[in-house]
Amino acid sequence: MECSWKTILLLVCASLGIQYTAIRSLTASLTSHCPATETGRHCHSQLRGFSHCSGMSHLRREAGNNDLTPDRKHILVFATTRSGSSFLGQLFNQHPAIFYLFEPLYHVQQVFANSSVRVRNVVDRRALLGAHRDLLSNLYNCNLNFLENYLKPAPRDHQTTAFFRRGASNALCEPPLCRLSPSLKNPLEHLCAKQCKALNLTLASQVCQTRSHMAIKTVRIPEVKDLRLLSEDPRLNLKIVHLVRDPRGILASRMGTFTDNFRAWKIWNATGRKPRSVDLSQIATTCNDLFNSVGTGFSKPAWLRGKYMLVRYEELAREPARKTAEIYHFIGLDVDSQVKKWILQNTRGTSGALRNYKYTTTRNSTATAESWRLNLSFQIVQTVQHLCNGTLFQLGYQLVHSVEELRNISNSLVESKMFAPFL
């Protein structure tokens, strides 16, 4: 264990930073007057119509969410990479009462990924669970300053230009955090990233407190059982929307998106010859996580009662309006008119360069759901079916036994199966 001392040192430093931030946040919450710092005055001056303490207090009372109360909804979109989670996340992002964050746990992962190779090799994906849970708890409490422990380069005066995929959150692209051109309604992510300057995390925390609910999307927690501590926190009233997708579709999407990591798979798909470098664990691990997580949900443990809903991406893509209504009913909110409008505008396809943007949520959703059947070789499909047979059966995805069955997309491979929320 020659590198263990480095790991311990790194974790100790991170722990001290987290404790310092927690103490600082607690002290700030006990202070009844406006911040006297330049940062505080600057933040309040940017909140149009609420440039003093009484204004902010009134705004928080109007929102009714300054405390973690049962009325406040804390939503977690739980998924794996390339399963349609960005699309589902946008269904919450469009609601004007929801403060939405896209993959904030990315920053925790980057702290370790950017450490020395010897330390990085020791840290596996589960070693970060404590940090992930601490960050989620603070974010649900609208303490975005907690992210300063993980942002690189470190923020100056609580301002950062390193916030991951800021443009994927409407709240971070709207006044007072950013003033885009009035002609830009529902701006695309790349426009927000281009025109919005440094994000003030203190001001963002205050804006978060004006929204009555909060939703966070993540693909960086392995299994549902890893969320038990958050689920059991009575202050959170957490709602977990578990999004799943056919593993064959997940693999096809990853091959098209993460070219470097899936180069061997792409060669196999194009040539029909399996390279020795193909890493089968890239999909086997995903299927194992899916199987275990869904198994946990189906076992209906007490700590998930009223807090867990399983959603198949294919059903969401096929009938987005109906499925969105079901999801919102489970959350306990009404589907806002802006959400309905977004669904109409973003599930009928588009034209031009936007189709080539790999993270876009604008597409013909019905056609996208099973389009992998036209792009993935039958040999690779057979391999995934062998590795993921239990997961496919568990989630109601049919196997194919010939090229003809694979390519005949008029016959869906998604079985008609009801997955009721665990209430």
pLDDT band at 71 (very low <50, low <70, confident <90, very high): confident
**pLDDT tens digits, 73-100:** 999 999 999 999 999 999 999 999 999 9
Query: Is 195 a member of any domain?
Result: yes
Q: With respect to residue 409, please indicate whether it lies within any of the assigned structural domains.
A: no
- pLDDT for 111 equals 83
Would 64 be classed as within a structural domain?
Answer: yes
Calpha distance 217→84 (Å, rounded): 11
For 13-35, what is the mean pLDDT?
43
Report pLDDT digits (tens) over 210-228: 999 999 999 999 999 999 9
Residue 276 pLDDT > 80: yes
In this predicted structure, the answer to whether residue 230 has a pLDDT above a threshold of 50 is: yes
Residue 280, pLDDT above cutoff 70: yes
Domain count along the chain:
1
**What was the pLDDT predicted at 21?**
46
State the chain's mean pLDDT as an integer.
82
Per-residue pLDDT band at 296 (split at 50, 70, 90): very high
Banded pLDDT at 348 (limits 50, 70, 90) = confident
Whether 331 is covered by a domain: the verdict is no
Evaluate whether residue 125 is within a structural domain. Answer: yes
Strand partners, 166: none
Q: Which residue has the higher pLDDT, 16 or 174?
A: 174
Percent of the chain surpassing pLDDT 70:
74
332, two tokens: 């306990």
Q: Please check whether residue 387 lies inside any domain of the structure.
A: no
- Token pair 């404790």 is found at 19
117 Cβ contact partners less than 8 Å away, ≥ 6 residues apart: none
Kindly state whether residue 324 falls inside one of the protein's structural domains.
Answer: no
pLDDT of residue 115: 58
Range of the domain at 199: 39-68+98-211
12 falls within a domain:
no
Q: What is the pLDDT of residue 109?
A: 85
